[in-house]
Amino acid sequence: QVIDSTSLGWGTRVKGFVACFAIGCLCSILGSCLLWIPKKGLVLFAVFYTLGNISSIGSTMFLMGPMKQLKKMFEPTRLIATIVMLLCLILTLCSAFWWRKAGLALLFCILQFFAMAWYSISFIPYAR
* Prediction pTM value: 0.84
In this predicted structure, the answer to whether residue 9 has a pLDDT above a threshold of 90 is no
Q: Report which of 58, 44, 57, 52 is spatially closest to residue 105, judged by C-alpha positions.
A: 44
In this predicted structure, the answer to whether residue 5 has a pLDDT above a threshold of 70 is no
Give the per-residue pLDDT at 123: 81
Give the per-residue pLDDT at 128: 61
Q: Can you give the C-alpha Rg of the chain in angstroms?
A: 16
Asked if residues 57 and 81 have their Cβ atoms less than 8 Å apart, the reply is: no
Residue with the bigger pLDDT between 111 and 4: it is 111
Q: Which distant-in-sequence residues (6+ apart) come within 8 Å of 116 by Cβ?
A: 53, 56, 85, 88
Share of the chain above pLDDT 90, in %: 45
pLDDT tens-digit series, residues 42-90: 889 999 999 999 999 999 888 888 888 899 999 998 899 899 999 999 9
